[in-house]
Amino acid sequence: MNVAVIGTGYVGLVTGVVLSEIGHTVTCIDINKHKVSKLKEGQSPIYEPGLDELMAKNIEAGRLYFTTNHQEAFVNAHIVFIAVGTPQSHSGAADLTYIQQAAKDIALNIVNDTIVVVKSTVPIGTNDIVETIIKENLVADVDVNVVSNPEFLREGHAIHDTFHGDRIVIGAESTEASEIVEQLYKPLGLPVVRTNRRSAEMIKYASNAFLATKISFINEISNLCEKMGANVLDVANGMGLDNRIGRAFLNPGIGYGGSCFPKDTEAIAYIGQEYDTPLTIVESAIKANFRQRELFLQKVLDYFNGNVAGRSIGMLGLAFKPNTDDLREAPSLYLIKELEKRGANVKAYDPVVKHLTQCVVTIREAITEVDAVLLVTEWDEFEGINFNHEVFNSKIFDGRFFIKH
């Protein structure tokens, strides 16, 4: 099939690359000229294991193209994906500016009957709005169907997750459109859940809210374990072996960050308030998550009797989780801001994030001649450090229960 993908971020680029790998012809479009020129040269603007190789292979095979021009992207396409960002607005609700613009871009430029597939995470009812915007602005005399197809990939495992996802959710009002989208994914051989559009939109928010709640739950249990002399990792393992619970997302730490959980939990909580149906569990999970990084900071401050002015603090890891360069809502940024505000000097090492002013080049620089070391992201690379021998005279704060004792 001939496909266009709007947005070449973590979701759009991975979707485009994987669809080309399974035999479709894909044109990815982005308004960011710098990104597109890099992509045309075969360079991925994001760090994602396995992505570069697959991109190069499919560009070479003539199945994967990049452009900034909507007309060019849509000229042969019968399926157009929307994978633009839906960031958090000031109110907590999802900001739909990019989605609305993408819908207008489609309306003004498509020349074929088109199935528009909304992959971005959007509030319940947004697919209806996208359809209305397109139909109101349509220039050509063509048919348009809008299908919801939320994405569940994890950054750092995005390629793997797209090939081996647990399910593909297709929410449509038209059976025919739903079947075509199912055919598109057929080579992946994954289970398909077909629903109406609003249920598909809700599946995405409910899934993220549930996983975020699981993390906040184990974090609160962890705080209690610390006071009661219990070992939270043993507790998580003991709980996780129960099939009804499962071990995934029971890793205690300084809380979730990233481009999805923080904004998606806020967005669904906002919708709950808007519809006078408060999601009190999700609201609590959000509060608990923020409190977790505050508690971690407080431990560091307590160690220095509340005064970190002039102290040198090493930080291991900046990305919000391992195997990604994504810093959106990363706890590291909060910690750097709060420590520097109090006069500390932060020296941070991350295997892929290199552009912050606090970055040092080697692990050694971050762990020697410092007053404390904060382990913030559990990168595999840090497993090689013998903390007992290499980190002299400085206190270690392990924000990820990473260091084996």
Shortest separation between residue 210's beta carbon and ligand NAD, angstroms: 15
Shortest separation between residue 244's beta carbon and ligand NAD, angstroms: 26
Is 260 a residue of the active site?
yes
Q: Is the Cβ of residue 41 or residue 276 nearer to ligand NAD in the bound state?
A: 41
- DSSP conformational letter for 94: B
Shortest separation between residue 301's beta carbon and ligand NAD, angstroms: 32
| Rounded Cα gap, residues 285 and 291, in angstroms | 10
HSE-CB for 7 with a 13 A CA cutoff = 22
Query: Is 75 in contact with 142 (CB distance < 8 Å)?
Result: no
Shortest separation between residue 119's beta carbon and ligand NAD, angstroms: 6
Q: Which candidate, 363, 364, 306, places its Cα nearest to that of 339?
A: 306
| Rounded Cα gap, residues 79 and 73, in angstroms | 11
From 16-24, 147-155, 222-230, 360-368, span contacting ligand NAD (CB under 6 A) = 147-155
Structure tokens at 353: 């994030």
Judged by CB under 6 A, the chain residues 72 through 131 that form the site for ligand NAD are 83-86, 98, 101-102, 105, 120-121
Q: Is the Cβ of residue 19 or residue 308 nearer to ligand NAD in the bound state?
A: 19
Which of 153, 316, 327, 336 forms a contact with ligand NAD (CB under 6 A)?
153
Residue span 335-374 as binding mask against ligand NAD, x where in contact by CB under 6 A, dash where not: ----------------------------------------
Residue keyed to tokens 């088109």 = 114
Q: Which candidate, 72, 172, 95, places its Cα nearest to that of 131?
A: 172
Q: Is the Cβ of residue 9 or residue 314 nearer to ligand NAD in the bound state?
A: 9
Question: Does 327 help bind ligand NAD (rule: CB under 6 A)?
Answer: no
Strand order in the sheet with 312-316: 345-349, 312-316, 372-375, 395-398
Judged by CB under 6 A, the chain residues 7 through 46 that form the site for ligand NAD are 7-12, 29-32, 35
Residue count of the chain: 405
Which of 5, 6, 232, 286 forms a contact with ligand NAD (CB under 6 A)?
6
From 136-144, 148-156, 275-283, 360-368, span contacting ligand NAD (CB under 6 A) = 148-156
In sequence order, what are the residues at sequence separation of 6 or more whose Cβ sits closer than 8 angstroms to the Cβ of residue 339? 297, 300, 308, 313, 346
Q: Is the Cβ of residue 120 or residue 323 nearer to ligand NAD in the bound state?
A: 120
Exposed / middle / buried, residue 32 (Cβ in 10 Å: 0-12, 13-18, 19+):
middle
Query: Is 258 in contact with 321 (CB distance < 8 Å)?
Result: yes
Shortest separation between residue 82's beta carbon and ligand NAD, angstroms: 8
Amino acid 103 reads A
**Which listed residue (28, 225, 260, 359) is catalytic?**
260
Distance of CA 274 to the CA centre of its chain: 25
- E strand residue ranges, 281-359: 312-316, 345-349
Judged by CB under 6 A, the chain residues 236 through 295 that form the site for ligand NAD are 259-260
Report the interface residues with ligand NAD, using CB under 6 A: 6-12, 29-32, 35, 83-86, 98, 101-102, 105, 120-121, 151, 153, 155, 259-260
Q: What positions carry a catalytic annotation?
A: 260
